[in-house]
Homo-oligomer: A and B are copies of this chain.
Amino acid sequence: MNQGLLQYGCYFETLRENILFADLPNDSLKTLLEISKNQIWPKKTCILDSDHTLHRFYIVISGKIKEYQYEINQNKELIQNILIKNDFFNICTLLKGHASRLFYEVLSSSELIYISMEDMRLWMDENPKIIGPIVNYLVKKTEKLEDRVFDLCSMDTSSRLAKLLIENFNIKTNKIELINGLSNSILAGLIGTTRAVLNRHLQDFKAIGILNIEGGNIEMINLPLLFHKLQVLSEKPPHEKEFLPNLS
């Protein structure tokens, strides 16, 4: 692999689609592939040590990977993301150097390419155009996380489940994508609850006629009703603050 992955056209095509590299010329992608290596992780591979994550930047080519947080004392796990094709991870370590506290577990056999942190940093110095998309990505991520914190504080579990389902519903295909077929405990980890409670609400949605569930497959039956579930949280008196106008 002296030439890295340059010979594999499919990798090049995949990078071309990646929002991170959209602005970059083909030559930059080629030099990136020259310093890349590929790897296949079978289902259930767990990346718990910081060795991988401290020294390598990963881009997902195919498969499905769970990015999660876990603390030994509190026996609870929270899933931050389900990573699929064109996602990447470890960008915070790449930019700041210290280890992240995120873990990874492969949900379905995945192919990845990785670049060593040092190589990636050198490459970034030579391809400063990458900064724009990175900043964009970070801003988006920040805003998503802020919303997530707020949701956890202000919405009950069934509303958070409703939101999760809606966010992953594709109107065109009329299907729930990405999270469909995942186990109850993974869905629970995505909205910050336990398997039992999640299942309780799923059964509830099924009983009302919002969803149909069979064999791990969730099918949308009544989307408007699901939206209703999301909105009728509480119709309380509105925000009443005095607004002192701009003084300057």
Contact = CB atoms under 8 A, between A and B. Distances in A.
Interface of A: 37, 39-42, 44-46, 48-49, 52, 69-76, 78, 80, 92, 95-96, 100-102, 105, 131, 134-136, 138-143, 145-150, 152-155, 192, 231, 233-239, 241-244, 246-248
B39 A248 contact: yes
A91 to B, nearest CB: 8
* Among A49, A75, A146, residue most surrounded by chain B Cβ atoms (within 10 Å): A146
A41 B75 CA distance: 46
Contacts of A145: 142, 145-146, 148-149
A27 to B, nearest CB: 22
Contacts of A134: 135
A244 B69 CA distance: 19
A39 B141 CA distance: 31
Contacts of A41: 247
A73 B236 contact: yes
A143 B145 CA distance: 10
Contact of A244 (B42, B101, B155, B246): B42
A12 to B, nearest CB: 20
